[in-house]
Amino acid sequence: MHAQVRHRRLIREHGHGIVHTAYHTARGIWETLIYRGWGVPCALARDMRLPAWFGHQDWAGDPRDPVHQAATYPEVITLTGLLVSPHWRPFAMSASAADHDRFRAEFQRRLPPDYRDLANASLQLRAAVGGASVTRWYRPAVEVVHQRGCPASGEMTAAGLRRRMKDQFIYTSDDVLRMLDALLAGIGTAWWDQFFADQSRPCPFFTDRPDENLAAWFGEGQLTAGRVLELGCGHGRNAAYLAGLGCDVLAVDFSAEAIERARKRARPVSGSADFRCCSIFDADFAEESYDLVYDSGCFHHVAPHRRKDYVDLVRKALKPGGSYGLVCFRPQGGSGYTDLQVYQRASLGGGLGYSADRLRALWDKPPFSLRGLRQMNKASGQEPYFGEDYLWVRLATKEGAA
């Protein structure tokens, strides 16, 4: 019961997306520990106290069965809390062995005494996970999800802010925007390159499947093949799909690793797909030249002070009568930060969740008209499409004759 309360609190504080990925990562780590015999006596004791309908089984069996998962749930939530913590997350992601040891020590400290005693004996945590770097354990889902006007970062201390932001003389509105960009500079392209380079960790977006809404819009005739600009294309799953439908695609992402993966993914496709490595705000394109602008996971990483620039970018790119498709965080999927908190904490918290009313306020006024806004359909795993229910899908049209 206490673990369930902590689990719900983590979701409220950090958003469904980041906790979802952290939980499944923590569960995978704990399965490894059990396979190696670490912590079994304590978990077995709890197993014996579980209700009879769990059907107690031999602990030499599969640690992924429901009995084992229920018995180790409190420990998994303890590890999940560390993985989503703005303080402990950098230690988990660091390349430093000393930081890894500090992270492991804190994990062990938070476990019940029996586990800590066992960890200090022959079956140490480092050995139990095969000496694997914590860097490979976890990349927060919300930092997963595409670009990225200003990528996510942990909250900054006052000293950290002073190091990040040099003293600036403010005179123009552009000076203010550049100052706020520096405040939210956060994780750079090198981090995203490393992130896309390791796609072995659990992440719902590391799939070859296109978005379910994109397939639906084309299947229903709401969209037809034409010229497409994709903002924050990641490893190219949607760009490849669009090219396969006969679209002429320009896809932009500021991670060189992501672009390289996207190019490889699109090579077998017969259609046209051009990938460019740059910020979406630096992309060079002819104005009013695209039938569709598509964004799956970029907009919710755009800082509040750059929203107008983003809207202007979409407006300039689209032909009159062109369509704008968006997939972004619902409040349940985002960080929960208000715009004020973004600047107070110098972080987007991994991505901003939007209410339906706020999306309508941005995209259901001239020169745009809203054609549809709904919750994304969660994929069961059997469909050839991607879908998560903590995301919105939205389609709008730019006014004017097509």
Which CATH number is 392's domain given?
3.40.50.150
226 and 317 belong to one structural domain: yes
* Domain assignment of residue 291, yes or no: yes
Q: What pLDDT is attached to residue 88?
A: 79
Residue 66 has pLDDT above 70, yes or no: no
Q: What would the pLDDT profile of 273-303 be if each residue is shown by its tens digit?
A: 999 999 999 999 999 999 999 999 999 999 9
* Domain assignment of residue 144, yes or no: no
Q: Which domain holds residue 70?
A: 2-136
Looking at 104, 136, 168, the residue that finishes a domain is 136
Alpha-carbon span 382 to 372, nearest angstrom? 25
223 and 131 belong to one structural domain: no
115 and 217 belong to one structural domain: no
Looking at 86, 108, 136, the residue that finishes a domain is 136
* Domain assignment of residue 127, yes or no: yes
Between the two ends of the chain, the Cα-to-Cα distance in Å is 57
98 and 245 belong to one structural domain: no
Q: What pLDDT is attached to residue 111?
A: 73
Alpha-carbon span 11 to 124, nearest angstrom? 30
Where in 315-390 does DSSP place strands (E)? 318-329, 368-375
Looking at 109, 136, 163, the residue that finishes a domain is 136
* Domain assignment of residue 188, yes or no: no
269 and 379 belong to one structural domain: yes
355 and 219 belong to one structural domain: yes
CA atoms in the 13 A half-sphere facing the CB of 261: 23
296 and 383 belong to one structural domain: yes
**257, containing H or E segment:** helix 256-266
* Domain assignment of residue 315, yes or no: yes
* Domain assignment of residue 179, yes or no: no
* Domain assignment of residue 152, yes or no: no
224 and 131 belong to one structural domain: no
273 and 389 belong to one structural domain: yes
User: How many C-beta atoms surround the C-beta of residue 274 within 10 A?
Assistant: 13
256 and 375 belong to one structural domain: yes
Q: What would the pLDDT profile of 117-168 be if each residue is shown by its tens digit?
A: 444 433 334 433 333 333 333 333 333 333 333 333 444 544 555 555 666 7
Domain count for the chain: 2
223 and 336 belong to one structural domain: yes
220 and 109 belong to one structural domain: no
Of residues 333 and 359, the one with the higher pLDDT is: 359
CA atoms in the 13 A half-sphere facing the CB of 47: 18
* Domain assignment of residue 112, yes or no: yes
Q: What pLDDT is attached to residue 50?
A: 43
Q: What would the pLDDT profile of 234-285 be if each residue is shown by its tens digit?
A: 999 999 999 999 999 999 998 899 899 999 988 888 778 999 999 999 999 9
Q: What pLDDT is attached to residue 333?
A: 85
